[in-house]
Amino acid sequence: MSAARRLSPPRPVRVEKGPEGAPETVSGEAVEAVLEDWVVEDRWWTGRPLRRRYFEVLLADGRDAVVFIDLTSGCWFAQRSA
């Protein structure tokens, strides 16, 4: 049985996106590959719905990063497991 990992709070991040909406740079670092992307829609029944498109990317320096765009505000964030 695996233990659930806690996520750190999202932090704003600068992302330049390509024509398809996927990140091309994250904080000035080039994205070598998009490894996975997914959409999360939750709390739609409340006054504060959550709509995010996540991307797991491989950066040019070899780091793996997870970023998302808030589909309501259009703001980009990074989030990691704590």
| Token pair in block for residue 16 | 């330049």
Q: What is the pLDDT of residues 37-53, one digit of tens each?
A: 999 999 888 888 899 99
State residue 82's pLDDT score. 46
Residues of the chain short of pLDDT 50, as ranges, are: 82
- In this predicted structure, what is the pLDDT of residue 6? 62
Q: What is the pTM of this model?
A: 0.84
